[in-house]
């Protein structure tokens, strides 16, 4: 599990290639991948940037816990989670999750669970900067204007 900064980019092709090589001989039949990107329009307003902050040590422990618990499920062989910190512009990657499993059902179901847990459990804070102001995103999609806090 890792964070990546605004001047870095996740090379998905290389990560998947490395994952396949690392798991050779373990019967992996599926790798499900989620890539989160910065939206260009939200609620009819143009998004200029997202800014992510976290207490890194603690957030990494939570991401590791999620991966450890989910990889312990039957048929799941590996999980990778990488989350952006710092500034991200529209269209840039913000989250990468890969789940390698024996079959597609295990991979897809686990990916869905991991994604929902990553959105809810680690203390990662998101500030959305758009043409009508700056909003903290709380939970899945609740937006609170920065100056209202």
pLDDT exceeds 80 at position 27: yes
Lowest mean pLDDT among 15-19, 63-67, 81-85, 145-149: 145-149
- For residue 136, which phi and psi values (nearest 5 degrees)? -80, 135
When pLDDT is averaged across residues 49-63 and rounded to a whole number, the result is 95
Q: What's the pLDDT tens digit per position in 70-91?
A: 999 999 999 999 999 999 999 9
Q: What is the pLDDT of residues 114-125, one digit of tens each?
A: 999 999 999 999
Concatenated DSSP letters for the chain? -EEE-TT----HHHHHHHHHHHTTTS---EEEEEEEE--SEETTEEEEEEEEEE-HHHHHHHHHHHHHHHHTSTTEEEEEEEEE-EEEETT-EEEEEEEEESSHHHHHHHHHHHHHHHHHSS-EEEEEEETTEEEEEETTTEEEEGGG-
Residue 8: its pLDDT value, please?
Answer: 79
Report domain extents, the chain. 2-148
Q: How far apart are CA 112 and CA 107, in angstroms?
A: 9
- pLDDT tens readout for residues 43-55: 999 999 999 999 9
Exposure string for 21-37, b = 16+ CB within 10 A, e = fewer: eeeeeeebebbbbeebe
Q: Is the pLDDT of residue 127 over 80?
A: yes
Hey, what CATH class is 2-148 in?
Answer: alpha beta
Residue 97's pLDDT band, with cuts at 50, 70 and 90, is very high
């Amino acid at each position: 599990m890792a964070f990546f900064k605004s001047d870095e980019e996740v090379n998905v092709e290389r990560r998947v290639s490395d994952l396949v090589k690392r798991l050779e001989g373990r019967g992996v039949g599926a790798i499900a991948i989620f890539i989160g990107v910065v939206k260009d329009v939200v609620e009819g307003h143009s998004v200029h940037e997202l800014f992510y902050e976290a207490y890194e040590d603690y957030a990494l422990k939570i991401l590791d816990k999620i991966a450890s618990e989910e990889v312990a499920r039957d048929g799941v062989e590996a999980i990778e989670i990488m989350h952006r910190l710092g500034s991200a512009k529209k269209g840039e990657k913000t989250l990468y999750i890969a789940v390698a499993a024996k079959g597609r059902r295990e991979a897809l179901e686990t990916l869905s669970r991991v994604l929902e847990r990553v959105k809810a459990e680690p203390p990662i804070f998101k500030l959305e900067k758009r043409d009508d102001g700056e909003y903290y995103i709380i939970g899945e999609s609740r937006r609170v204007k920065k100056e209202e806090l």
